[in-house]
Homo-oligomer: A and B are copies of this chain.
Amino acid sequence: MPTKKVLVATEKPFAADAVSKIEAEFKTAGYEVEKFEGYKAAEELKTKVAETGAEALIVRSDKMTPEVMDAAGAPLKLIVRAGAGVDTIDLKAATDRNIVVMNTPGQNSNAVAELAFGMMLTNVRNHYDGSSGYELRGKTLALYGFGQVARNMHRLAKGFEMPTIAYDPFLKPEDIEATGAKCAKTVAELFSDAQFVSLHIPATAETTKSINYELLASMPKSGVLINTARAEVIDEAGLLKAFGERGDLVYLSDVAPTEVKDLEAQVDALEVSKKAKRAFITPKKMGAQTAEANNNAGVAAAKQIVDFFEKGEKRFQVNKPGQTF
């Protein structure tokens, strides 16, 4: 009976219940699955993939080098990154070897949205220092980009009774408005009309440094910028300028600054405000870091492997032949 063999190669293992869910997916499909968890060196991984002869790998932030791919040899058709980031996978080497690489986007969307609201509440209640703050209820939340994370933000905003306004150049206005969010016509409108603006855009040539002085300076009183997306989209010098002029602005970020060293300390040192922590930047990108997001990603990876072999489904492929990396 023809079957498939899958290796779960995770230097940093999944939680136990994620593993049982992954195994259950493969059991249903009649696939063999082997685990290689908590290995210490690349050499061990090479030996293991050579021995196993797996047709698919599930990995996390494991390094997928040309050497590992060569050790796996001809049987290997598919590598699925359980998670979003594929910077640990040599995509060109995979393409050259006809190996399909996929990630599992969207599995961490709720995790990121909950983190954003956690930071927002921490801010409006003055980091729980005992002083009087303000409420989220009734304040407008603007969402720049209306993908999975933004849609989760929108759901949470409904609970908080915050009206939402969204802008996404890749969506039809009616698709945004069907969710109950108002649709903005321009990015400028988001910043001028909402006290809270949350970024959900990728870093592209167009978006890089696009969140600039003019947008921030146009925000209403006590404007709060939330960035769980990418640091590159911020014009950090422009942010410092706007924050230097206005002591009421706040920046909540889950992405480390790219150019301005210690942006958080620099904002706090500006002499226009006595408010503590006007810039609050998590020590390490942690939006997607929850047990649930990791579990979901593992299960999604298993499903994508089965769908690839059974139905030829390549929806989440990140390397395409002819693509340059």
**Cβ of A82 to closest chain B Cβ, rounded Å:** 14
Q: Check if B134 sits within 8 Å of A291, measured CB to CB.
A: yes
Of A70-78, A111-119, A205-213, A268-276, the stretch lying at the interface with chain B is A111-119
User: C-beta contact mask, A183-206 vs B, less than 8 Å → 1, else 0?
Assistant: 000000000000000000000000
Residue from B124, B135, B138, B291 in contact with A132 in the complex, judged by beta carbons closer than 8 Å: B291
Which of B114, B119, B161 makes the CB contact (< 8 A) with A136? B114
Alpha-carbon distance A118/B118, docked complex (angstroms)? 6
Q: Does A104 contact B (CB under 8 A)?
A: no
Q: Are B114 and A160 in contact (CB under 8 A)?
A: yes
Q: A228 in the interface, Cβ–Cβ < 8 Å? A: no
Per the 8 Å Cβ criterion, residues 280-316 of A in contact with B are: 280, 282-284, 286, 289-294
B111 and A118 form a contact (CB under 8 A) = no
Whether A110 lies near B135 (C-beta < 8 A) is yes
Q: Specify which chain B residues have a CB less than 8 angstroms from the CB of A320 in the assembled complex.
A: none
Report B-chain residues with C-beta under 8 Å of the C-beta of A93.
none
Interface window among A30-38, A142-150, A151-159, A169-177: A151-159
Q: How far is the CB of A182 from chain B (nearest CB, A)?
A: 18
Q: Which residues of B have CB within 8 Å of A134?
A: 290-292
Total interface residues on A, CB under 8 Å, equals 40
A133 at the interface (CB under 8 A from B): yes
Interface contact B282-A133, CB-CB below 8 Å: no
Contact B125 A118 (CB under 8 A): yes
Residues in B neighbouring A157, C-beta threshold 8 A: 159
0/1 interface trace, chain A 212-247, chain B, CB 8 Å (1 if under): 000000000000000000000000000000000000
Q: Which residues of B contact A290 (CB under 8 A)?
A: 124-125, 132-135
A8, chain B: closest CB distance, angstroms: 19
Complex Cα–Cα for A118 and B125 (A): 8
Q: Is A131 an interface residue (CB 8 A)?
A: yes
Instruction: Indicate whether A39 reaches chain B with its CB closer than 8 angstroms.
Output: no
Asked if A137 lies at the interface with its beta carbon under 8 angstroms from chain B, I say yes
Is there a chain B Cβ closer than 8 Å to A122's Cβ?
yes
Q: Bound state CA distance, A280 and B135, in angstroms?
A: 21
Q: Within the complex, which residue of B114, B137, B160, B292 is in contact with A121, where a contact is CB–CB below 8 Å? A: B114
Is A130's beta carbon under 8 Å from chain B? yes
Q: In the bound complex, do residue A114 and residue B129 qualify as a contact, i.e. CB atoms below 8 Å apart?
A: no
Chain B proximity of A255: nearest CB distance (Å) = 12
Q: How near does chain B come to A21, taking the closest CB pair, in angstroms?
A: 14
Contact status of A137 and B160, CB under 8 A, knowing A132-B289, A286-B132: no
Return the chain B residue nearest A157 by Cβ.
B159
Min CB–CB distance A283 → chain B (angstroms): 4
Asked if A294 meets B132 with Cβ closer than 8 Å, knowing A121-B118, A122-B118, A122-B122, the reply is yes
- Ranked 9 nearest A-B pairs via Cβ: A159-B159, A118-B121, A130-B284, A130-B283, A132-B289, A135-B292, A134-B291, A156-B159, A135-B290
Give me 7 other A-B pairs in contact (C-beta within 8 A), A118-B118, A131-B289, A133-B289 excluded: A114-B121, A114-B124, A115-B125, A118-B122, A131-B284, A132-B291, A159-B160
